[in-house]
Amino acid sequence: MSDQFHFPFAVSANTLSKLAKLNIRNIWDLALHLPLRYEDETHITPIADAQIGIPVQIEATVIQQQIQFRPRRQLVVQVKDVSGHVLHLRFIHFYPTQQKQLAEGNVIRALGEIRHGFFGDEMVHPKIRTDIEKGLSESLTPVYPTVNGLNQPTLRRLIETALKNLPADDTLPETLLSQLQLPPLLESLHFLHSPPPQYTPRDLHEGTLPAWQRLKFDELLAQQLSMRLARQQRLNGHASALIGDGHIIQSLLANLGFELTLAQQRAFNEIKQDMAQSHPMHRLLQGDVGSGKTIVCALAAAVALEAGFQVAVMAPTEILAEQHYLKFQQWFAPLGIQIAWLSGSMRKKAKDETKALLANGTAQLAIGTHALFQEDVQFNQLGLVIVDEQHRFGVAQRLALKNKGEDVHQLMMSATPIPRTLAMSFFADLDVSVIDELPPGRTPIVTRLVNSSRRQEVEKLVRHTCAQGRQVYWVCPLIEESEVLQLQTAVDTVAQLQESLPELKIGLIHGRMKPAEKAAVMSSFVQGEIQVLVATTVIEVGVDVPNASLMVIEHAERMGLAQLHQLRGRVGRGAAASRCVLLFSEPLGDIAKARLKVIYENTDGFEIARQDLHIRGPGEFLGARQSGVPMLRFANLEEDLPLLEKARDLAPILIAQQPEVVKKHLERWLSQRAAYLGV
Ligand code: ADP
Ligand code: MG
């Protein structure tokens, strides 16, 4: 990413450094630095007419100034305006300069909200002006997001100058704009930076104003264009077409012990078709927790193996990678296929041996964590990369993967459903196969919300479940501030449970354990030697133990919806009726309440994801995408769906018919971010 500054006018080094903190590096960045809000200094409101809670500007004479010491030191100033009404201005922090400004007898303007205070009507920390001879502002005063050391007037001046220096041409042709009923870009920017006097601050926050619509549309269009171009580039690239003869697949299916669901078959067929192409596949296999994604990617792996290519399977955590390793061993080892394991925590000697096997092609399948994509790992003939829970990988890892596999087919898996608007925008470059059906014979999970004061009842339920030969997960609270504290809590939980349930075998698994220790605990749980598995959230994804039928989650109110849904999905995998108990502690915030309600009322991952998007915005879904794809500053996917649809429809037409428009538009909107495009 370029750190170059481009301003066609002088800006001091100090200001430049402040601007950099705001990600402002050129005049376009300045012009697109839009006000956070507006202040109305265009008229004076008599104190008598001011409504409570709405910002107003008053003009009045200071009649008394005093410093009060109770309840704490503060400056209190009484002012009186021509309507004869008195108002108190109260400053908890103040400077000698302010005392001077507010000397008795001075005429001042104060901008703020009036409220009923203990001693009468007051304004707390109003904005004060003494330059009243200047007259009133002609338009609303923009208030910009800023950083320490860069004040509003300076920023305002810089932006004004930038607006004057912007090239006059629009990126979008006039005919197009009139079809879309959108105003020119410059006009829109001028409008938002210095709105005409007839608009109130409230009007300007309406996203439906044409000026806003224009900015949002431009942004969405840039996103659509760049995604389409990235896709085109991929389709023009080369990868080996992978076509198998079916012999591995036949044996695999014959030994499986179950039939594929129709949804699994459909997804597999889509993947198979992609892999038979001579350009790289870039497909997301999406299916709710427990929908059976693993076997589908094993089948995809089988196609590549049949075609004589190597396959790499990468998972975000060692536990998850190990689960895949065990499954793939079970499925492929009997067919004489050699599988290599690679993770960051392996000893150098073992790693070197594995690397040699991958480099000379002896190992046909490689399974592991992102260690698989370190620079020194060479494959003999890599044909397919499978990435589980792709959204949990960071940008650097995605880049490494991309460099390793420009020309290989990529299959990504995710249990986090992508809501439609995100699929249309941030994920528009991916092809998606959806497994929208669970394997037969599952009974729905019953979810209970239980106040943590009733923990004993939950312990009884644990006892009851284990007495029936079933197993239990007990998830300890997430403690974001400290991993050590989190571990401590987990250890305490084990002790506490062991005391109340002495007859049960209780195990512990947490993120600080060595991979071998984790594997040992996991395997005891799989074997049924451990009845209750106490875990920090390491079991979040992928763990598959069908005999577990009770999931207890402590402090569920601290967790995100996607995480809760994933955790809950660890049970309900066998035929037994399963339960999920969400322990919560009061008081609950609004968001926590909303989340618990959603998870209680819904079992469909898609609906949960949709509501999550509504509660929190798209951050969670994007994960690694965040840096890879142009982010949206102005558009809001939910509100602006109509604009998004327009941008999506227009993008291919522009690419086909007006490449020069595409180029100009992207340059203007993505100049800084181009390096990361398409990662
Ligand atoms: P996820 O999509 O969450 O990764 P898994 O692939 O782990 O799900 O599958 C969940 C469980 O369902 C596994 O125990 C798997 O063996 C089983 N399973 C997968 N497909 C089927 C099917 N078609 N019929 C019955 N069981 C299946
Ligand atoms: Mg899985």
Q: Is ligand 1 within 6 A of the CB of residue 397?
A: no
Atom 25, ligand 1: residue with shortest CA distance: 439
In sequence order, what are the residues at sequence separation of 6 or more whose Cβ sits closer than 8 angstroms to the Cβ of residue 153? none
User: Which residues does the chain have with pLDDT short of 50?
Assistant: 1-3, 541, 623-630, 672-679
Closest to 559 (Cα-Cα) out of 608, 518, 516: 608
- Return the number of other C-beta atoms located less than 10 Å from residue 68's C-beta: 12
What the chain holds in terms of domains, given with CATH numbers, is 13-38+140-206 (no CATH), 43-134 (2.40.50.140), 310-380 (3.40.50.300), 445-602 (3.40.50.300)
Phi, psi of 481 (to 5 degrees): -70, -30
Q: Atom of ligand 1 at shortest distance to CA of 264?
A: 23
Q: Atom of ligand 1 at shortest distance to CA of 573?
A: 11
500: amino acid identity, one letter = S
- Return the number of other C-beta atoms located less than 10 Å from residue 398's C-beta: 21
In angstroms, how far is CA 590 from the centroid of its own chain? 20
pTM: 0.69
Residue 433's DSSP bridge partners are: 285
Helix (H) / strand (E) containing 339:
strand 339-342
CA distance 559 to 579: 18
- Any idea which ligand is nearest the CA of 268? 1
CA of 544 to the centre of ligand 2 (A): 8
Q: Quick one: tokens of 312? A: 């790499």
Q: Is ligand 1 within 6 A of the CB of residue 625?
A: no
- Any idea which ligand is nearest the CA of 295? 1
Helix-helix angle 659-670:641-657, to 10 degrees: 130
Atom 24, ligand 1: residue with shortest CA distance: 439
Output the pLDDT for position 65: 94
CA of 291 to the centre of ligand 2 (A): 8
Please, what is the Cα angle at 226 between 221 and 229, to 5 degrees?
Answer: 125
Q: Is the sign of the CA dihedral 252, 253, 255, 261 positive or negative?
A: positive
Q: Is ligand 1 within 6 A of the CB of residue 320?
A: no
CA of 289 to the centre of ligand 2 (A): 7
Atom 18, ligand 1: residue with shortest CA distance: 292
Phi, psi of 415 (to 5 degrees): -95, -5
Q: Is ligand 1 within 6 A of the CB of residue 296?
A: no
Output the pLDDT for position 376: 81
- Return the number of other C-beta atoms located less than 10 Å from residue 397's C-beta: 19
Q: Which residue has the tokens 């594995």?
A: 354
CA distance 411 to 295: 13
CA distance 385 to 407: 10
Phi, psi of 57 (to 5 degrees): -110, 130
Atom 27, ligand 1: residue with shortest CA distance: 439
Distances (CA, A) of 589 to 453, 553, 584, 617: 18, 18, 11, 17
- Any idea which ligand is nearest the CA of 297? 1
CA of 328 to the centre of ligand 2 (A): 13
CA of 541 to the centre of ligand 2 (A): 7
- Any idea which ligand is nearest the CA of 569? 1
CA of 612 to the centre of ligand 1 (A): 25
CA of 613 to the centre of ligand 1 (A): 27
Phi, psi of 75 (to 5 degrees): -100, 125
Q: Are 330 and 305 in contact (CB under 8 A)?
A: no
Q: Atom of ligand 1 at shortest distance to CA of 295?
A: 6
In angstroms, how far is CA 471 from the centroid of its own chain? 33
190 three-class SS: helix
- Please list all protein residues whose beta carbon sits less than 5 angstroms from ligand 2, which is an ion: 542
Q: Quick one: tokens of 162? A: 């930038």
Atom 19, ligand 1: residue with shortest CA distance: 292
Q: Is ligand 1 within 6 A of the CB of residue 298?
A: no
Output the pLDDT for position 635: 87
Cis peptide before 417 (omega within 30 of 0): no
- Please return the burial class of 664, using the count of CB atoms within 10 Å of its CB with bins 0-12, 13-18 and 19+: middle
Q: Which of the 8 DSSP states describes residue 6?
A: B
CA of 323 to the centre of ligand 1 (A): 13
73 three-class SS: coil
Helix (H) / strand (E) containing 568:
helix 561-568
Q: Atom of ligand 1 at shortest distance to CA of 388?
A: 4
- Please return the burial class of 31, using the count of CB atoms within 10 Å of its CB with bins 0-12, 13-18 and 19+: buried
Q: Is ligand 1 within 6 A of the CB of residue 290?
A: yes
Output the pLDDT for position 300: 98
Q: Which residue has the tokens 């502002």?
A: 137
Output the pLDDT for position 3: 45
Q: Is ligand 1 within 6 A of the CB of residue 289?
A: yes
Helix (H) / strand (E) containing 123:
strand 120-124
CA distance 120 to 80: 13
Long-range contacts of 455-464 (CB under 8 A, 24+ apart): 455/583, 456/500, 458/552, 458/581, 458/583, 459/497, 459/500, 459/501, 461/550, 461/579, 461/581, 462/497, 462/501, 462/504, 462/532, 462/550, 462/552, 463/501, 463/503, 463/504
CA of 294 to the centre of ligand 1 (A): 7
Helix (H) / strand (E) containing 424:
helix 420-424
Q: Is ligand 1 within 6 A of the CB of residue 565?
A: no
Q: Is ligand 1 within 6 A of the CB of residue 293?
A: yes
CA of 271 to the centre of ligand 1 (A): 18
Q: Atom of ligand 1 at shortest distance to CA of 569?
A: 3
Q: What's the Rg (C-alpha) of the chain? A: 31
CA distance 265 to 433: 11
- Any idea which ligand is nearest the CA of 316? 2
Helix (H) / strand (E) containing 38:
strand 37-39
DSSP H helix total and E strand total for the chain: 25, 22
- Any idea which ligand is nearest the CA of 330? 1
Distances (CA, A) of 577 to 43, 448, 550: 68, 14, 9
- Tens of pLDDT, residue by residue over 208-259, are 899 999 999 999 999 899 888 888 888 888 999 999 999 999 999 999 989 9
Output the pLDDT for position 628: 42
Atom 17, ligand 1: residue with shortest CA distance: 292
- Mutate which of 259, 286, 295 for ligand 1? The one with the most ligand atoms within 8 Å of its CB, which is 295
Output the pLDDT for position 675: 35
- Any idea which ligand is nearest the CA of 434? 1
CA of 267 to the centre of ligand 1 (A): 14
Q: Are 34 and 84 in contact (CB under 8 A)?
A: no
Q: Is ligand 1 within 6 A of the CB of residue 295?
A: yes
For the chain, how long is the longest CA-to-CA vector? 96
- Calculated CA dihedral for residues 384, 387, 391, 396, nearest 10 degrees: -70
Cis peptide before 587 (omega within 30 of 0): yes
CA of 510 to the centre of ligand 2 (A): 19
CA distance 562 to 607: 11
Residue 76's DSSP bridge partners are: 66, 90
Atom 12, ligand 1: residue with shortest CA distance: 292
Output the pLDDT for position 622: 52
Q: Is ligand 1 within 6 A of the CB of residue 536?
A: no
Atom 10, ligand 1: residue with shortest CA distance: 290
Q: Are 212 and 195 in contact (CB under 8 A)?
A: no
Residue 289 has, within 13 A of its CA and on its CB side, a CA count of 28
Helix (H) / strand (E) containing 117:
strand 114-117
CA of 412 to the centre of ligand 2 (A): 11
Atom 16, ligand 1: residue with shortest CA distance: 292
Q: Is ligand 1 within 6 A of the CB of residue 294?
A: yes
